[in-house]
Amino acid sequence: MNYKVLYRKYRPDSFDNVVGQDYTVSMLRNAISSGKHAHAYIFTGPRGTGKTSSAKIFAKALNCENPQNGSPCNECASCKSFKDNPDVIEIDAASNNGVDEIRELINNVKLVPSQSKYKVYIIDEVHMLTASAFNALLLTLEEPPSHVVFILATTDIQDVPITILSRCQRFDFKPISKEDIVSRLEYVCSEEGIKVSSDALQEIALLSAGGMRDALGMLDQLSSDDTEISLDMVSNYFGSVSVKKIDELLTSVANSDVSNVLNILNEVRESGTNYSVFIEKLILELRNNAISIKSGDDISSLCFDDIYSLIFDLNECLCNLNINIDPYTLIEIVLLKYVGNKHELGNNNVINQHRVVGNIKDESVSVSSIENIDLGNKKDVEVESKEVEEKEETTVDDTPVINKVSINLEVRVNNCFVNASKSQKKVVGDSWIDFMNYLMTKDRNLVSLLADTVVLAASDKYVMIQSKISSTNELINGSIDSLESQYEGFSGIRYRFAAINEDLWLKETEKYRFNLKNKIEYNYIAEEKDAEEAPKVEEDNLDELESLAKDIFGTYEVQ
Q: Which is it for the CA torsion 325, 327, 328, 330, positive or negative?
A: positive
CA distance 499 to 413: 10
CA distances from 434 to 81, 300, 440, 445, 480 (A): 70, 44, 10, 16, 19
Hey, what domains does the chain have and what are their CATH numbers?
6-172 (3.40.50.300), 178-238 (1.10.8.60), 243-338 (1.20.272.10), 409-530 (3.30.300.180)
Hey, what amino acid is at 441? Answer: T
Phi, psi of 42 (to 5 degrees): -135, 125
CA distance 268 to 264: 6
Note the pLDDT of residue 143: 82
Residues 52/153, Cβ–Cβ less than 8 Å:
yes
Q: With 0-12 CB in 10 A as exposed, 13-18 as middle and 19+ as buried, what is 143?
A: exposed
The secondary structure of residue 135, as a DSSP letter, is H
Mean pLDDT by 10 residues, the chain (559 residues): 81 88 91 89 91 92 88 87 86 80 84 87 89 85 87 90 90 91 91 87 86 89 81 79 82 84 85 79 84 70 78 79 68 79 40 36 36 40 46 42 61 89 89 86 81 88 89 86 91 92 87 84 81 48 58 55
Residues paired with residue 148 on neighbouring β-strands, in sequence order: 119
Hey, what amino acid is at 321? Answer: L
Residues 127/93, Cβ–Cβ less than 8 Å:
yes
Find the length of the chain.
Answer: 559
> Which residue blocks in 357-441 are alpha helix, DSSP H?
378-393, 409-418, 422-439
Note the pLDDT of residue 321: 64
CA distance 482 to 439: 11
With vertex at residue 158, the alpha carbon angle to CA 153 and CA 163, rounded to the nearest 5 degrees, is 80
Q: Which long-range contacts (CB under 8 A, 24 or more apart) does 67-72 make?
A: 67/32, 67/33, 69/29, 69/33, 70/15, 70/28, 70/29, 70/30, 70/31, 70/32, 70/33, 71/14, 71/15, 71/16, 71/29, 71/32, 72/13, 72/14
Helix (H), strand (E), coil (C) string for 216-230: HHHHHHHCCCCCCEC
Neighbours of 206 (CB within 10 A): 20
Note the pLDDT of residue 300: 60
Note the pLDDT of residue 57: 92
Pairing outcome for strands 462-466 and 454-458: antiparallel
Q: With 0-12 CB in 10 A as exposed, 13-18 as middle and 19+ as buried, what is 264?
A: buried
Rg (CA), the chain: 32
Q: With 0-12 CB in 10 A as exposed, 13-18 as middle and 19+ as buried, what is 421?
A: middle
| Three-state DSSP class for residue 89 | strand
